[in-house]
Copies of this chain bind each other. A is one copy, B any other.
Amino acid sequence: MSSSISDLLASKTLDLEPYEQLYKHYHSHPELSNQEKETAATTAKHLSKLADFKITTGIGGHGFAGVLHNGSGPTVLLRADMDALPVKELTNLPYASTVTQVSERTGEESPVMHACGHDMHITCLLAAAEHLYALRSSWSGTLVVLFQPAEERGTGAQAMVDDGLYDKEKHNIPVPDYVLGQHVMALPAGKIGSRVGTIMAAADSFKVTVFGRGGHGSMPHRTIDPVMMASNIVVRLQNIVSRETDPSDMAVVTVGYLRGGHTENIIVDHAELGIDIRTINTATRERVIASLKRIVHAEYIASGAEKEPTIEETRFFPQTYNDEDMEGKLAGSFGEFFGEAFDPQIARTNASEDVSILASSQGKPSLFWFFGGTEPEFYAQKEREGRLIEDIPQNHSSGFAPVIQPTLKIGVDALCVAALTFLTRK
């Protein structure tokens, strides 16, 4: 029976050419997180061509969803994220972005680029919707296609849920039995992979402010030096990973920024640390955060400061966890459909995603996979040279842009195959 997915997909041709054009449009019109207004409008308009999809817009900002009720059976949600990044594009592509935008969050103007491939995600999902719509007589169940804002800030999925995405009194989108999502990565185009368990790490960001007592640099004894306190904390934090974490487990504690003081000879009264934590186990995550708090508090005690430091969580992504049961089924479908191109044990990444909130908030399982976007021969050459990391533009870099094909085709097929794995096939 599982062979029917390949046959099914082959039974209707999908012309991807218009989607290649659409991808270029998205790529040259990126919008920052929570400012995806035109992107959402263009996408919703496109989706509205598929008459039976019921579209609800303005969910948690510019988020929206289209629902296709197609008889009895499971509800499957396919998700794409829509936001771009404050990065200046340096790809030299004919359709490169030249957009600048004033960030709603920082108030600063900056260049904007789809440097994380969300433009590809949107395009794939629209095309998959068309294809699954065309095949609707061959399956039954409910299909939800969801376009999410603000993934980069880790807030978009939660914002949609909090805004009543599944609320019967509000947007009333059917609660999915399965949530499915994908991400284009700096892997060879044509390749696709997934894994059981954690596929992307949990991420927590904190802003720590330590308070000392300012004064003149020549009289340190009249001060409590916050730059010293902050440096002591950075050094002491290393013990969390080096001594407290099971070497066979995983934790990362990065102090991304440390800001204290303005001039050489003046000791200021506070300093700020921006801390990023990655973990793949919930218990480890809790322990690492507890250790962070303990160490910051200890420096407050050691320094004799008068005011307790503040620790503010600024961003949170849960771990992206692939349900064992779902993954087993998907591996079957993908293995059959993609053959050798599919890797069922792809390496976990410590980058993070918020897609799982769309499922976990309802006590449901989710699945996530990666597909490649790097020109395969270039990748192979760099692999031979041992320069994969040095020379291949990674997500979030100013040179990141997938080759359109076969990336697009793989992404569309993957969504279709995955959806059909969990919908009821007739």
Contacts and interface: CB of A to CB of B under 8 A. Distances in A.
Contact of A218 (B257, B275, B350): B350
A266 B230 CA distance: 18
Contacts of A254: 217-218, 220, 225, 264-265, 267
Given A222-B389, A264-B275, A264-B314, A256 B227 contact: yes
A264 to B, nearest CB: 4
Interface string A268-298: 1001001110100000000000010011011
By Cβ-Cβ distance, the 4 closest A-B pairs, closest first, are A257-B261, A218-B350, A298-B302, A217-B254
A218 B267 contact: no
B252 A247 contact: yes
Interface stretch (A51-59, A201-209, A371-379): A201-209
Contacts of A267: 254, 256
Nearest to A290: B304
Given A253-B242, A258-B227, A264-B274, A351 B247 contact: no
Given A203-B218, A232-B235, 19 more contacts: A217-B276, A218-B247, A219-B247, A220-B242, A223-B243, A227-B255, A230-B258, A231-B231, A247-B250, A247-B350, A256-B262, A256-B263, A258-B258, A258-B260, A258-B261, A259-B261, A265-B276, A294-B301, A298-B299
A181 to B, nearest CB: 19
A239 interface: yes
A241 B261 CA distance: 21
Contacts of A314: 264
A309 B276 CA distance: 26
Which one of A220, A241, A294, A315 has the greatest number of beta carbons of chain B within 10 Å? A220
A301 B301 contact: yes
Given A294-B304, A389-B222, A247 B278 contact: yes
B241 A206 contact: no
Contacts of A203: 218, 265
A255 B228 contact: yes
B243 A315 contact: no
A83 to B, nearest CB: 16
A152 to B, nearest CB: 11
A3 interface: no
A330 B283 CA distance: 34
Contacts of A294: 301-302, 304
B220 A252 contact: yes
A220 B248 CA distance: 11
A260 B396 CA distance: 20
Given A238-B239, A252-B247, A301-B298, A260 B257 contact: yes
Contacts of A295: 302
A234 interface: yes
Interface in A68-114: none
